[in-house]
């Protein structure tokens, strides 16, 4: 999975007691905490094509990256490359789930086969 690090900014990841689906839905109660001076936000549509969609470019000023899957399908994410992100190599971000990543690398996403999925991001930068 490359250089992803799950530490620091996410103060709590766990079960959302308000979720009625019966599944484990990660949520974040506090983002950041490392003193970033600004944020960048956006939405990206990930496709299930041969190559994954770039969610964000590499950013040496990035402190943390928060990703939220806005769809009912899975999105596989990775920071290796668009051509090598796959369901067998990426981290699966379940439907309506969120995750914090601490990486300055580019991040790519690939939706479930035959679908597209919208993903929002919030990037904390120095």
As a whole number of angstroms, the distance between CA 85 and CA 37 comes to 31
CATH number at residue 123: 2.60.120.770
Question: For the whole model, what pTM was predicted?
Answer: 0.71
Instruction: Indicate whether 69 pLDDT > 70.
Output: yes
Q: Give the E-state strand segments of the chain in sequence order.
A: 38-47, 53-56, 62-69, 75-78, 91-93, 98-101, 107-111, 116-125
Instruction: Indicate whether 9 pLDDT > 90.
Output: no
Domain count, the chain: 1
**Which of 16-25, 59-68, 74-83 has maximum average pLDDT?**
59-68
Higher pLDDT: 97 or 85? It is: 97
pLDDT at site 88: 81
Band (106; pLDDT cuts 50, 70, 90): very high
Band (60; pLDDT cuts 50, 70, 90): very high
For the chain, the first-to-last Cα distance in angstroms comes to 25
Range of the domain at 31: 1-126
Instruction: Indicate whether 35 pLDDT > 80.
Output: no
Instruction: Indicate whether 6 pLDDT > 80.
Output: no
């Amino acid at each position: 999975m490359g250089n992803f690090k799950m530490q620091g900014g996410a103060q709590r990841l766990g079960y959302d007691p308000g979720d009625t689906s019966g599944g484990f839905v990660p949520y974040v109660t506090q983002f950041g905490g490392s003193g970033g001076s600004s944020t960048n936000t956006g939405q990206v549509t990930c496709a299930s094509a041969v190559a994954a969609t770039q969610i964000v470019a590499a950013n040496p000023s990035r402190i943390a990256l928060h990703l939220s899957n806005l769809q009912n399908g899975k999105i596989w994410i990775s920071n290796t490359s668009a051509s090598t992100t796959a369901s067998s190599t990426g981290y699966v971000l379940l439907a309506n789930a969120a995750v914090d990543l601490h990486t300055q690398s580019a991040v790519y996403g690939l939706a479930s086969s035959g679908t597209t999925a919208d993903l929002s991001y919030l990037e904390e930068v120095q």
